[in-house]
Structure 1
Amino acid sequence: AFARARPHVIHAHNPTALHYATVGKLLTRARLVFTDHAQTRGIIRVPSRFEWRATDAVVGCSQDTADKSGAVGVAGNISVIHNGIDITPARRTREEVRAELGFGADPPPAQSPEPAGPSGGVFVGIMPAAFHPVKAHDVLLRALARLRDRGVAVTVLIVGDGDERDRIHGLARELAIHGKEARFLGFRKDVPDLLLAADFFVLPSRDEGLPLAVLEAMARSLPVVVTPVGGVPEVVRSEEHGLLVPVDDPDALAAAIERLARDPALRRRLGEAGHARVRDDFSFEKMTRKYEQLYLGLG
């Protein structure tokens, strides 16, 4: 296929694809570009020295990823092009999705100490991420157990699948939050709809490149609770675009979620600022213009 297409540029976005792209370069003499999304840090595979030498340009999806590129064998300069997104519209309304999930739209009684979502009803978070240790689902579950013990009524939609699924489900049962505070939805194709139904986004990762999930949540004006890992701090300034909490700290994570649950004005302020941040600095158009400049400069 490579030989028939005769491409001018072959661009790989993960270490496995780079292996085959290197073969493609040998067959076609095309220029080879690799974008590192931090998957080289033991998550998938580390490319060989031959594959690194075959690249004509290496891009980090964040400055943090670029700074750490030497540890995985990148020799020479690496440029930075931040991820950008093109927002996929939701197909259903917030009310329709919340009704499907069993979340009522009516607010709790005026005397109730329970926080409510912006349009009333249950305060709902969302964490769309593969079940991998780096995503720290265990930290979220322990935070949710702490919130339950403090009487803060929060439900988080946990969306995705992966090798850690059974262990994380088991921990949720052990903490007695499975199906209650933690709702496991498995792999879903309607994540844009689910984001629309949520009141906040959470991702307590132990490491990252520049997660598209964070950008997509911010673009939809969701307040985000995230950790200062990888390229996340390059997008989210704490207390301005979202709340940053330390890694592996369920108490701090619980406290940040509780702040959002009890402060609608804070949710609104962070959501609006996050939306503007992604719109102005992390659009798909801005990213593609930078890649186009890179391609044209390869000669």
Structure 2
Amino acid sequence: MTGPMQPFPDGTAAPDLSRVEVIAPNFKQRLSGVTSTIVQLVPLQARTVGIATLGPGLPDSLPKLRWWQLADLWRRPASGRKRIWHARRNVEMIGGIVLKSVLRMPLHLVFTSAAQRDHRPFTKWLIRRMEAVIATSARSGSFLEVPHTVIMHGVDLDAFHPARTADDGFAASGLPGKYAVGCFGRVRAQKGTDLFIDAMIALLPDRPDWTAVITGRVTAEHRGFAEELKRRIATAGLQKRILFLGEVPEIKAWYRRVSLYVAPSRNEGFGLTPLEAMASATPVVASDAGAYAEMIVEGETGSVVPAGDGSALTAAIRSYLDDPEMAKAHGENGLAHARTRFPLSREAHEIAQVYNQVWSRGG
């Protein structure tokens, strides 16, 4: 490092590049897990380092560079050290390589990998050109062939919190039953929505106190999948107890209203929803996709089952539906676990340490 990191006033319409030392590109218009990570992290990072985003699909509350400002990247910031280009997708790694190696801009390249699969040769080539690599879980790190640092995502403990008012209780929803079990996210086979529906069809007829809620968008390509699930529910006569709510305006409240959260994904990158549930004092039954198994403490904050195993998923959910007191206790355990191990501030701090290591190496 050439000096201490300087505070940066976030929210500036067109940030002063002389104070920007880190650029977080976001080259995808549609909301995704990566976009959500940037939206949550940048305001925290902006408290200790000059950071700005670049690209579409981000709220105006974030410090955002304009495309025309790229021409000024040939000049170093006031600190004198090279800026860090922190990519999270292949296209962003490509952009950084072009700026650094083709246009000869003074940049350091950092990449965060959440993928849990063997990378294609081109992706491996891109990763080898990064100066530092972060893996979002030990599992994703196992697919990397370069030195890396594992930094698991954190959760915003101010945004996701236990019930505080009557509006946070399930009764405020006006839906039938005493307890709710939820499954949130895009409705599609990858997310295992069908596994959740099948479990609910098997379990709810004998458990009248429970209602199931599914939230999330149904895109055009998955509309047929969703319609088939609704047909199964209708055939079982459970239309009033297994409910598709669509995209809800305030998903945070639903984490507080449900007594059990289920994350049945067949495959996942990282997957933040179990952390959001635990931060809301809600226990989690999840598949072992993504980083779920690294978040959940088996038998204490929830349960993890093999991805795609509907029978195991149903059995794990059954134990909570039959014992609401256990669900409550595991929810409290999950809250303590999230606060201790997964605060968003911890993630921001550990990323800052990687930045400092890169700057200390210079070059």
TM (normalized to structure 1)?
0.80
Distance across 2 between alignment mates of 1:184 and 1:234: 29
What aligned pairs does 1:45-124 form with structure 2 within 5 A after superposition? 48-69=123-144, 75-87=145-157, 88=159, 93-95=165-167, 98=170, 101-103=173-175, 121-124=177-180
Give 3-state SS (helix, strand or coil) of 1:176's partner. Answer: helix
Instruction: Tell me the distance in 2 between the aligned counterparts of 1:263 and 1:225.
Output: 14
For 2:294, what is the secondary structure of its paired residue? helix
| Counterpart for residue 160 of structure 1 | 216
Shift of 1:47: 5.6
Task: Give yes or no for contact 1:15–1:47 (8 Å, CA) kept in 2.
Answer: no
Residue 66 of structure 1 and its aligned partner are, at CA, apart by 0.5
Q: Does 1:141 align with 2:197?
A: yes
1:2-21 alignment runs, 5 A limit: 2-5=70-73, 8-21=83-96
- 1:284 Cα deviation from its structure 2 partner: 1.1
Which consecutive residues of structure 2, in runs of 5 or more, have no partner in the other structure? Answer: 1-68, 77-81
1:3-60 Cα offsets, whole Å, 9 max, x none, are 3255711112233433334334444331111111227779xx9864542233111211
Count, aligned residues: 276
The 3 A distance-change label for structure 1 pair 158 and 101 is same
Give distance in 1, aligned partners of 2:129 and 2:257: 45
Comparing 282-291 and 147-156, the one that deviates more:
147-156
Identity, % of aligned positions: 28
| 1:227-250 Cα deviation digits (max 9, x unpaired) | 123322211121111122232232
Once the 2 structures are TM-superposed, how far is the Cα of residue 155 of structure 1 from its aligned partner?
2.5
* In 2: Cα distance, 1:31 partner to 1:93 partner: 47
How far apart in 2 are the matches of 1:4 and 1:171?
53
> Is the 1:139–1:204 contact (alpha carbons within 8 Å) kept by the matching residues of 2?
yes
Going from structure 1 to structure 2, the CA distance change for 1:47 and 1:204 (only over 3 Å counts) comes to: farther
1:252, 1:86 → 2: CA distance?
Answer: 31
Secondary structure (helix, strand or coil) at the match of 2:270 reads coil
Separation in structure 1 between the aligned mates of residue 206 and residue 217 of structure 2, nearest angstrom: 29
* Larger of the two Rg values belongs to structure: 2
Q: Is the 8 A contact 1:131 1:160 kept in 2?
A: yes
- Gaps of at least 5 residues in structure 1 are 70-74, 105-120
Asked whether the equivalents of residues 135 and 207 of structure 1 are also in contact (C-alpha less than 8 Å), the reply is yes
Give the structure-2-normalised TM-score.
0.67
Q: Is the 8 A contact 1:37 1:209 kept in 2?
A: yes
SS of residue paired to 1:31: strand
